Copies of this chain bind each other. A is one copy, B any other.
Amino acid sequence: MKIAFIGLGNMGGPMALNLKKAGHEVRGFDLSKPACDKLAAEGLNIATSAAGAIAGAEVVISMLPASQHVEALYLGSAGLMEQIPAGTLVIDSSTIAAATSRKVAEAGAKRGVAVIDAPVSGGTGGAIAGTLTFMVGGAEADLERARPVLEKMGANIFHAGAAGAGQTAKICNNMLLGILMIGTSEAIALGVANGLDPKVLSEIMRRSSGGNWALEKYNPLPGVMETAPASKGYAGGFGTDLMLKDLGLAQENAAAVRAATPLGGLARNLYAAHSLAGHGALDFSSVIKLVQARAA
């Protein structure tokens, strides 16, 4: 299949390569020259513009940092949507505002272009390994068309609902994850301050009603779980500033629909304080530092 892939960063790059490896004819593009060069060196076919990348493509995939980049790519007078032929399938895997996803989908519908929003979780590790989770918003039939492509990049594909629902599902999930991680950090820190062994306490809570993904896969305290970022100096994983961005999207969405998310709002602001303290580039589980004793 002929696939255009726009956005070749830490996530988009390996995703595009996985599609190539699976036998698809992929043409990529990124506004960053170094990103293009890096992928070219790894064998990816690179176009000289976004418009060049989509020429002849049956499927267009985009993986961009924020709402404004997606709007700039597809919409407006110079937007790509004017040039994409009817019948093409657009898969936007960027994590952006649900409202923007709906705008792009509506613009596509007017032109006969099928659009699904398909943000991912799983981080750069999942992008490289091809084990991402896709949360998809859009028509069932369009998801089915996309499935063979998505399966080459991910291990789990969820249909969340209509256009924008993929974005909503992702921010709901990540808001909950952001809460779980701080809550788990607090519980462990409280136990440690009382003299408990963090491994013992973590295991008790994991097997009790406190059980959650953080205790299962991603313990925030160094030394409890060898494979977790905490035990590797909080390197790799999912950065604090990325979590902060997602929690900001969740609050923006909550404001738009007048939802109440007291813990979600607090979590956003605690990650912000953690980032202001200089930890924005560390894995988000480093937020446990906020509730641990340390020197001034």
- A residues near B (Cβ < 8 Å) are 98, 121, 133, 135, 156, 158-162, 164-165, 168-169, 171-177, 179-180, 182-184, 186-191, 193-197, 200-201, 203-205, 207-213, 216-218, 244, 248, 250-255, 257-270, 272-273, 275-279, 290-296
Q: Tell me the complex Cα distance, A263–B262, Å.
A: 9
Closest to A135 in B: B204
Q: Tell me the complex Cα distance, A194–B170, Å.
A: 12
Contact A201 B182 (CB under 8 A): no
Contact B190 A169 (CB under 8 A): no
Contact B211 A187 (CB under 8 A): no
Contact B173 A187 (CB under 8 A): yes
A194 partner, pick from B173, B213, B257, beta carbons under 8 A: B257
- Least Cβ distance of A284 to chain B in Å? 11
Contact flag A269-B258 (CB < 8 Å), given A291-B276, A296-B279: no
Contact B190 A250 (CB under 8 A): yes
Contact A269 B260 (CB under 8 A): yes
Contact B263 A276 (CB under 8 A): no
Contact flag A260-B272 (CB < 8 Å), given A179-B179, A196-B165: yes
- Least Cβ distance of A184 to chain B in Å? 6
Contact B265 A158 (CB under 8 A): no
Chain B residues closer than 8 Å to A195, beta-carbon distance: 161-162, 165, 168
Contact flag A183-B186 (CB < 8 Å), given A98-B194, A193-B259, A278-B296: no
Contact A182 B263 (CB under 8 A): yes
